[in-house]
Amino acid sequence: MKKEYFYWLAIIAFLGLFGLLMLWQTVLFPSARFPVALLLLLNITPLLIPMRGFLNGNKKSCSWMAYISLFYLIHGAVESYANVDERWLAGLEVFLSLQLFFGAAFYVRLLSRSDSRV
């Protein structure tokens, strides 16, 4: 398969995960105990750190995005277990974070292979 397929899979998963987290904390289930701005800052900031390089297809940023997506995998699994009402959102978070991980990881792997052949 071509590396561009995995890159676009990772991009779509990234945008989906970003949108899901924004909607989850603001519109669908806003928190009554914590300020929404604080939750957005804690939930969204890890995705924003390597975003510029990730959107440009930088190999190092893509590998960091794959590592960061594992945090969202764990968060989604814990939320799925803890909150029955938000289980479908947590399942979607797990699905998107796995897509992001595999898309970014395979993109970096195929990018490294094509760099070594040149």
What residue segments make up the domains of the chain, in order of their start? 3-117
Model pLDDT, residue 54: 94
Sign of the CA dihedral 37, 26, 89, 52?
A: negative
| Distance, C-alpha 35 to centroid of its chain | 23
Per-residue confidence in pLDDT tens, the chain, 118 aa: 788 899 999 999 999 999 999 999 999 988 889 999 999 999 999 999 999 999 999 999 999 999 999 999 999 999 999 999 999 999 999 999 999 999 999 999 998 887 766 5
Q: Give the pTM.
A: 0.91
Model pLDDT, residue 117: 60
* Distance from C-alpha of 76 to C-alpha of 98, rounded to nearest angstrom: 11
Instruction: Indicate the Cα dihedral angle 106, 109, 115, 118, nearest 10°.
Output: -90
